Amino acid sequence: MKDLLLNVAGSSPLAMQLLETLTHHARFDTNATYDLVRNRREPVPWLSIVHGKGCHPKYSFTGVMVMNDSLPTVAKLINRGLCLVNRCVLCECSMEDLHHVFFNCSYSRQVWAAIATWVHLPLHFSLDAIVQAFLSEFRTGKHKASLMASFHFIWKERNSRIFKGTKSSSDSLCIVIKRAISLRLYGSFA
């Protein structure tokens, strides 16, 4: 912390003054210090989409990874120098990148169609269209949770096929997603 305060203040005397302002009633204010030294960025527009009622933290984590295009798809791994066969394990007929796995893959499209029908949402097959739809209209916790859970379980199915050699049908995956959302939001399967 001392080095960070010196960087923020610029000199030792100014750092001491800064420390005095961060100390209230003989207690050091860690939160105020952290706010002072951390780098702040503008909030991303999709922040309200990935967090909310019914969004399990692991669903939100996967959602953030999707929004940042930071999931380790085969295309990304090849760009990092790993020699892999670039084929989607879900549909087995196209190259795997983020857009394909979640929006162009026939398996994912079946999942999206069923979940969109279940939660009464228009069907979109691109990340930009989904983000715009969620930002332009008020969406319920069920909508957000369903979106994040769909991202999570499609990615989990992809990984299960690669690492465990197991396969679930798109219908089975939809049941899993619906059950997870219903249990999370209502405590029962609806």
Strands (E), the chain: 23-24, 27-28
> Which pLDDT band, with edges at 50, 70 and 90, does 124 fall under?
confident
Please list the residues that pair with 27 across neighbouring strands.
24
Q: What is the pLDDT of residues 69-122, one digit of tens each?
A: 999 999 888 888 887 788 899 999 889 999 999 999 999 999 999 999 998 888
Centre a 10 Å sphere on the Cβ of residue 66 and count the other Cβ atoms it contains.
24
Encode pLDDT of 10-33 as tens digits: 888 887 777 777 776 677 777 777
Q: What is the pLDDT of residue 158?
A: 96
Contacts 24+ apart (CB under 8 A), 129-137: 131/45, 131/46, 131/49, 131/67, 134/46, 134/49, 135/45, 135/46, 135/48, 135/49
| Confidence (pLDDT) at 38 | 74
43-78 per-position pLDDT tens digit: 888 888 888 777 889 999 999 999 999 999 998 888
φ/ψ (deg, to 5) at 39: -85, 125
* Residues 134, 136: Cα–Cα separation, whole Å: 6
Domain extents for the chain?
2-37, 47-186
Specify whether the CB–CB gap between 127 and 67 falls below 8 A: yes
Please tell me the distance from the alpha carbon of residue 158 to that of residue 186, in angstroms, as a whole number.
28
For 141-190, write each residue's pLDDT tens digit.
Answer: 888 899 999 999 999 999 999 999 999 999 999 999 999 999 888 876 55
Q: Can you read off the two tokens belonging to residue 90?
A: 């879900």
